[in-house]
Chain A
Amino acid sequence: MRQKAIPALVLLMSAYWFYSGWFVYGVWYAGGLGGGFMPVLSSSLAAIFAIVLLIRGDAAAGAIPWSAFIPVAMVALAVTLSHAIGLLPAVGVMLFVWVWLLERYPFGRALVIAAGPTLAIYGVFRLWLQVPFPTGALFGG
């Protein structure tokens, strides 16, 4: 069943795209292509392939271990934290939590491992290229 999830989701998406393209944006207007032309074209294609894949099925892939989703959780953590403490500190905290708690490095080494890349990013992106990273609510708007 699981291997049919992708075509099923794409089929749902294509239904919405087709509906919006046809009824909301319009395929053709007087004298030119309407905004709905590409949505209708692409969703029709998507629907055809999705249906083929749904009927034919697919060899099941192996189970996905939970560890694959560690990076997702970590980025979610960094994004959430960035609202409070700013993006770069949040990335630093993310690195530290990951290396210390998940990869079980000793506290001191984890601190060093997290601080290195954070400082390098700060130097290149913030100081040199002047990327305006969000500072977060805690440290002055």
Chain B
Amino acid sequence: MSNSVMRILAVAATAMGLAGPAAAFEPSRNVDMIVPASAGGGTDLNARTIAEVIKSDQLAKSSFQVINRPGGSGAVAFSYAATKAGDDHMLMPIAIGQIISSYALDWEVKGKDMTPIATVANDEFFLGALKGRFKDANEAIEAAKSGKITFGSSQKGNSDHLAYLLLNKHANTKFRYVQFGGSGEVMSALLGKHVDVGLFNPSEFVGQVRAGTVVPLASFSTERMPGELWKDVPTLAELGYPEVVAAETRVVLGPPKMDEAAVAYYENLLRRVTETDRWKTDYVERNNLSPMFLGAKETQDFLAEVIDRRVPVFKEAGF
């Protein structure tokens, strides 16, 4: 894309009140993308795709290099970002689960300390069960009131756990939380009939859904997911639980106190990344994500809503 288009976009962004009065910002050196997870996971893939698209579509002059800092399930990256306050050459692509963890697990540095830049994609949550185990989501929810239905999921204090707590609270269920080392283990346990239901991202069980061995009962999203496999799956909101909303939303943060002009620059850059064909087909579609883009201000509001309205459920559950 040419420079003039970029300028127009920047002007538009300023006019919309997204950017401050600041002068145009452009990175003067390499930009570090600090990934709070190991190489190879979902967050890492997200970061590497952003860096790849920026490079292949020549969206920026400086190069974006991915640096993995997986320590402490993300707490190390948060602490590192805090030492880089005001640094305009650092981005942190992150899953919202780690922002939730920073509150639920009471990390020293928390999600609101960072500078929100953009929301780039959404990885939805589905409740899945073996075919024939439950007729539909309502039957599973009714059965779970007995307190004997097990719910396979991964680490506590994360967005999976949040989805579970919201479901139990608002649907008055007593699902039993069973903690596994990762979604692969949850799927093994579900197929081996060791747990009754499991929480999955579409990409984690699309193979099983297509084969008909596992049935998606309901989604935790606000709207139904499009596509042949998912369009008939109701949302929990439709079933009468509008408060039960959770997903692994992919957000990009900056370190604390990032300059407004820099935020506007990166916000605009990420918007253009999410508009490329490569992003839409090679990343979003192939990984069964849902397209989603929010600017800096909307991302801030969105995070505030999750943190203020949903995260307190951890405390209520005695966590």
- Seen from chain A, the residues whose Cβ lies within 8 Å of a Cβ on chain B are 31, 130, 132, 140-141
B: contact size bracket: under 10
Residues in chain B near residue A141, CB distance under 8 A: 87
Q: Is the CB of A130 within 8 A of B65?
A: yes
Output the least CB separation between A38 and chain B (Å): 15
The B5-39 residues at the A interface (CB cut-off 8 A) are 29, 32
* 4 closest residue pairs by CB, A with B: A132-B67, A132-B65, A31-B176, A130-B65
Residues in chain B near residue A130, CB distance under 8 A: 65
Residues in chain B near residue A140, CB distance under 8 A: 29
Which secondary structure dominates where chain A touches chain B?
loop
Output the least CB separation between B157 and chain A (Å): 13
Output the least CB separation between B231 and chain A (Å): 38
How far is B255's CA from A141's CA once the two chains are assembled, in angstroms? Answer: 15
Instruction: Find the A residue at minimum CB distance from B179.
Output: A32
Instruction: Find the B residue at minimum CB distance from A29.
Output: B318
Instruction: Find the B residue at minimum CB distance from A30.
Output: B318
How far is B176's CA from A141's CA once the two chains are assembled, in angstroms? Answer: 48
Instruction: Find the B residue at minimum CB distance from A132.
Output: B67
Residues in chain A near residue B32, CB distance under 8 A: 132
How far is B32's CA from A140's CA once the two chains are assembled, in angstroms? Answer: 13
7 CB-based A-B contacts, threshold 8 Å: A31-B176, A130-B65, A132-B32, A132-B65, A132-B67, A140-B29, A141-B87
How far is B181's CA from A88's CA once the two chains are assembled, in angstroms? Answer: 35
Output the least CB separation between A104 and chain B (Å): 40
How far is B65's CA from A57's CA once the two chains are assembled, in angstroms? Answer: 56
Output the least CB separation between A128 and chain B (Å): 14
Instruction: Find the A residue at minimum CB distance from B34.
Output: A132
How far is B174's CA from A31's CA once the two chains are assembled, in angstroms? Answer: 13
Residues in chain B near residue A31, CB distance under 8 A: 176
Residues in chain B near residue A132, CB distance under 8 A: 32, 65, 67
